[in-house]
Structure 1
């Protein structure tokens, strides 16, 4: 059961659409603030600092500090997490540059941070440093979930080091100045990273079983086909080499990634669930899918999130050139049971993916068609336009009337 806080009305009048709520007995505090043109983080900093102090005083278990910006020109006016409330001065943060697991405890500084019971920490559009995050990790003994989205501009390096760190779920997205994430001797279960290519140092993470990676590169041109590429698939495999054999869930963004015909993925012996964001009308799409299928012999569930390069009226299944067919799997895949196509469209290249999987998976039990591009509309603030809804309905009608006919009766067909 939830209740509004005593000062909520004052801040709503000042900030506009602001949500600041806490559960009864104040086990969590969630600040969701829309940064409209009249709002200034610098001007409102004293009030924002008071909310953080309130969370500390109440010893919250969940702290969410989430800003929503109306335009990218607001990046220069982000709220900086207050170092002083943690007992950190500018001088003390500099000392951390050469420290690893011996980050000093706040208790030694004479500060009672009030975050000893913190389990979940979520920052979005908050200017937070790696030193502040490491202080939370080293001084919050039950902190299991850390989410940092769009940290500008001071998040450069982040370290999760040592078995004493309780963190199990790490989610880092869109931090443009981030250069390095180091994870060593940690109890991490899940890692989710999306952003520019970085130096990811991962070692001795025996519990890590779920990884989601979308890594952007500088633009590159394939001299063979003249296509422009901007994503890396091979880099995550190299950086995560120490734990690939133990992964059970892998989510990769291959849209815009160059296909290397000579690259062979290592065998993922424990992988059960694979999600790939794919450019379905790319000429090499089925070849890349073949590579992943060969590398995942014990895969049970495959999710393809479909994107398309060309407008539908130009789709002939060629994708910028003669489409390369996926190799016939020999032997055919025996363990895959469920295939889910998300963002499906009434286009030949989408149907080719379904047909390819039916022909090369002998134990397939279920095919799910979902026309909604759910990864693009995870936020309720982003609505699907009229044209998008029309495309979805057209895809849904095509799937039910035509695609279903190529699916054997022994395979359950479901269209959402």
Structure 2
């Protein structure tokens, strides 16, 4: 393990030296995008600070600091975004005292010209505080997309006021985050993955795309909780993605009607007895969806389970069904058959054995996973396809 860490640090130093040389040779006045993507941490703070200074001076539009941390090395300190670069360091007073007195503006930052052009910011394994994030939101007049992943320093994210230009907010696995507040804002898309937190959303007339993936909560009906938090915008949503793995079906819950929804994506466990009832409730609540994506997962110790048959419910708008992570289990087949019977306008079924939400393009899925996919693809072509009417296009990826 120590040898592996030493080799990784050596490669990281080589990467840092290479970036330094590239920036020294750059002669242009502007750059559109600056991206650093490697195994980097606090050891390389001085160089990373200089990269950010360079990007700001070159009026960068897309700033991506995406650093990787091996699982065995999580105790190592992440790179912390330098508050000096933002003019947030006060003398003789704490940062908190200064922040709550008055938020520094562009005039306090010697690299402020660069922030005027920032349109996209992506931070991964970066030590950023609430104050730093608020600075970006308040002082980047054309910032439209913000993604923060594994930011340990964040406790509260607040996007408030029509003056903030942000339209796309993605927050993933920030372990100390307690609260997200979005109000009176122009947000169009909101993505949150992580543990359940206090989520306050109000007066967001442009919000049409929401993705919530929350780890299973003991004794909590996540479906009810999610729709409660989204109550102000549920009728205007056009795209909804929910992770309902491990969520127990509540037959007494009256789903709100999502009148505007066109696309529904659900991460589901198909192998529990009320799975089809749960799916049926979502379909009834979304009378106008045209595309349904089911991302299938199965319990780790899978045992073939009898899935209770849900009552028939004709759906007249659904045209495309995509089954991702397909395996040749009977419960998965029953989901497909249920949709064939009830989606009376169905035109196309797409079967994809690859769990693409876990395995981005180019990532090695391992021999075992690939063998499972080959077996599932064969099952779909030999057994599932023959159950699909000729009027429905069948595609197996």
TM-score by length of 2: 0.90
- 2:393 is aligned to 412
- 1:162 is aligned to 161
Q: Does 1:94 align with 2:96?
A: yes
SS at match of 2:235: helix
- Distance (Å, rounded) in 1 between the aligned partners of 2:84 and 2:56: 13
The structure-2 alpha-carbon separation of the partners of 1:391 and 1:96, relative to structure 1 and needing over 3 Å to count, comes to farther
For residues 374-407 of structure 1, the C-alpha deviation after alignment (integer angstroms, 9 at most, x for no partner) is: 0010264x41111111111111111111101111
Aligned pairs for 1:66-105 (under 5 A) are 66-89=66-89, 91=93, 93-95=95-97, 103-105=103-105
For residues 270-298 of structure 1, the C-alpha deviation after alignment (integer angstroms, 9 at most, x for no partner) is: 00000000001122211110110010001
Structure 2 unmatched ranges of 5 or more:
1-8
SS at match of 1:402: helix
The structure-2 alpha-carbon separation of the partners of 1:71 and 1:17, relative to structure 1 and needing over 3 Å to count, comes to farther
Contact 2:216–2:245 (CA<8 Å) still a contact in 1?
Answer: no
Contact 2:60–2:117 (CA<8 Å) still a contact in 1?
Answer: yes
Contact 2:216–2:247 (CA<8 Å) still a contact in 1?
Answer: no
- Distance (Å, rounded) in 2 between the aligned partners of 1:388 and 1:311: 16
- 1:38 is aligned to none
How many residue pairs get matched?
379
Contact 2:85–2:109 (CA<8 Å) still a contact in 1?
Answer: no
Contact 2:44–2:79 (CA<8 Å) still a contact in 1?
Answer: no
SS at match of 2:350: strand
Offset at residue 233 of structure 1 (A): 2.4
Aligned pairs for 1:12-411 (under 5 A) are 15-17=13-15, 20=19, 25-35=30-40, 41-89=41-89, 91=93, 93-95=95-97, 103-107=103-107, 109=108, 111-113=110-112, 114-152=114-152, 154-220=153-219, 232-311=222-301, 314-315=303-304, 317-318=305-306, 323-329=307-313, 332-378=314-360, 380=362, 382-411=363-392
TM-score by length of 1: 0.86
**The structure with more strand, counted as a fraction of residues:** 1
Offset at residue 75 of structure 1 (A): 4.1
- Distance (Å, rounded) in 2 between the aligned partners of 1:123 and 1:63: 8
The structure-2 alpha-carbon separation of the partners of 1:86 and 1:110, relative to structure 1 and needing over 3 Å to count, comes to closer
- Distance (Å, rounded) in 2 between the aligned partners of 1:194 and 1:164: 26
SS at match of 1:275: strand
- Distance (Å, rounded) in 2 between the aligned partners of 1:77 and 1:238: 37
